[in-house]
Structure 1
């Protein structure tokens, strides 16, 4: 499913226009991104948790040349599915 299909699905479930559904989806993703940028954690009970994971600086190797290189510390967004979402996905 791509973004256009997701917007159409949201519009049909909520009886909103596609334009309004797209605005709602954009607002949702913007708020998630802003909170993660601040280092906050977003918990949606029954769905999952969005949080920021810290990656330490480390040494790596260039696979082509074998040359050792330094990989700087970074932050990465992480999503952990909640129990209810896991249960839905694993239903038979």
Structure 2
């Protein structure tokens, strides 16, 4: 599902116009992005938690050349799925044929 499909489905389920729903989705994503940029944690109970984590610098070997390179330290966004979303995905996976 892409952003446009999300907006279309959300608009139909909420009885809102696509334009209004698009503004809501864009605002939500902007607010989450700004919170993460400020290194805040965003907790959506039952869905999951977005947080910023620091990855230390490390040395890795390039498989093609065998040369060692340094990867600098950086910040990364982390998402930890909540109980409800994990249960929903697990229930769906159990319905798939093996």
- TM-score surpassing 0.5? yes
TM-score, normalization: structure 2? 0.88
Equivalent residue, structure 1, for 2:30:
30
Normalising by structure 1, what TM-score? 0.93
Counterpart secondary structure, 1:76? strand
**Matched residues in 2 for 1:26 and 1:65: separation?**
44
Residues 51-70 of structure 1 aligned to structure 2 (within 5 Å): 51-70=51-70
Q: Determine if the alignment matches structure 1 residue 90 to structure 2 residue 90.
A: yes
Partner of 2:39: 39
**Which residue of structure 1 aligns with residue 17 of structure 2?**
17
2:5 is aligned with 1:5: yes
Tell me how large the CA RMSD over aligned residues is.
1.1
Structure 2 segments unaligned to the other structure (5+ residues) = none
1:47-67 CA-to-partner distances (Å, cap 9, x unmatched) read: 110001210011112222111
Aligned residue for 2:80? 80
Distance 2:69 2:44 in 1: 39
**CA–CA separation in structure 2 for the residues paired with 1:79 and 1:38:** 16
